[in-house]
A and B are shown apart, each in its own frame.
Chain A
């Protein structure tokens, strides 16, 4: 069943950059599943996150353009000041509507949208952060029988986000970043 994973979505806030970087650094350039990364950031800021990830990863890191198609071997970074939605034809739609959980991009928005399109073939991973954004989206992924993973709160730089998710989705898997990385490698199809 896990061979069918079609999308991996990671979300994080404070401490989420470092955690997601550690996880993604271990993945090969031809990693077979597209990855979407939603990190909270300051608004009206330029796209230095993309440069940072592109420099440190062997995967190709790109900031999402509206209607860009999902492709393997890519890490798609949510741009500042937009929500990221997924369409049934496996393209992105951007959205500049109201903040959710005081955030745009909001992790809840992307997790929910991903689960609507990919259902049980979605893997959602929620990392360190000082916000409750992401927990209702992760719950939604879990309810759609997707895989819900939370960074171990003991390891997370700020545990608020992981704890909120564990609270709302008690059935989620709790792992440290090393285990998350190992798990993602088992999903990779050569």
Chain B
């Protein structure tokens, strides 16, 4: 697709964002524009659509089409044990402290299709904590939540995931955790027995519980600073004192108002702990 006029395209997208909010209630106004424009261009290309006008017609007459759009525009690319050193650090620096609590509550915010969730569950299992941990796995998109619940992933990435699992300090035979079947693998459902899957929109919804650990990696990068700030406040309200917040490797609290209340547990891996 050839876009002759970038400015016009951007104006049309701004109008579309308002219309989506009115029609479907999803508010993209706080999303980082460079990414939104790129994702929409990509989606137009995939669907062989020539203009935003054409896209509008489908979006507002077909809710399945909209759900598909939602899944593409909100990035859902994820992987198991992304940044193995992060998981290693979580295992060594955070889980031993969490193990002192009788009952542990974790929020995996923006869990997408569940690769990160299963990575966390495996870590908790190996540290003997899974049976007394409740994980709340939330995402804006109900379709990916259903996928996360199923725990079925393509076998294509299993070699890479297995390497990452061991690099993250994995203690068992990784193959114990899943069964293979015709190019797919299904992770043991016992791993997510204590997981609550729950639609939650970080852009508009409020705090719903108190947690000892919040994991939100590479989700807020798609938001503008102002919306990031809203979410940091939401996380701050949702963390117990001395609770942990884990962000993506290149995300930072430094520009946030809540930063003075937090200290690094691991600067390289952007794991923070809330002050008492």
Contact = CB atoms under 8 A, between A and B. Distances in A.
A87 B164 contact: no
Contact of A63 (B6, B38, B85, B250): B250
A118 to B, nearest CB: 12
Interface string A39-71: 000001010000000000000000111110000
A67 B77 contact: no
B33 A98 contact: no
B186 interface: no
Contact of A94 (B37, B77, B167, B221): B221
Contacts of B218: 94, 96
* Chain B: interface size category: 20 to 34
Contact of B221 (A63, A95, A112): A95
Interface in B115-170: 164, 167
Interface in B52-84: 75, 77-78, 82-84
Interface string B169-187: 0000000000000000000
B201 interface: no
A7 interface: no
User: Which residue of B218, B220, B250, B268 has the most chain A CB atoms within 10 A of its CB atom?
Assistant: B250
A65 B37 contact: no
Interface string A83-119: 0011110010111111000000000010011001100
A79 interface: yes
A93 B77 CA distance: 16
Given A66-B220, A96-B221, A82 B250 contact: yes
Contacts of A44: 82-84, 164, 167
Given A44-B82, A93-B221, A96-B75, A64 B6 contact: no
A81 interface: yes
Contacts of B259: none
Interface in B82-97: 82-85
Contacts of B238: none
B74 to A, nearest CB: 10
A81 B82 CA distance: 9
10 contacts: A65-B250, A65-B251, A66-B252, A85-B35, A91-B225, A93-B35, A96-B218, A96-B221, A113-B38, A116-B37
Given A85-B35, A113-B34, 10 more contacts: A44-B83, A66-B248, A66-B252, A81-B83, A94-B251, A96-B78, A97-B35, A98-B77, A109-B38, A116-B6
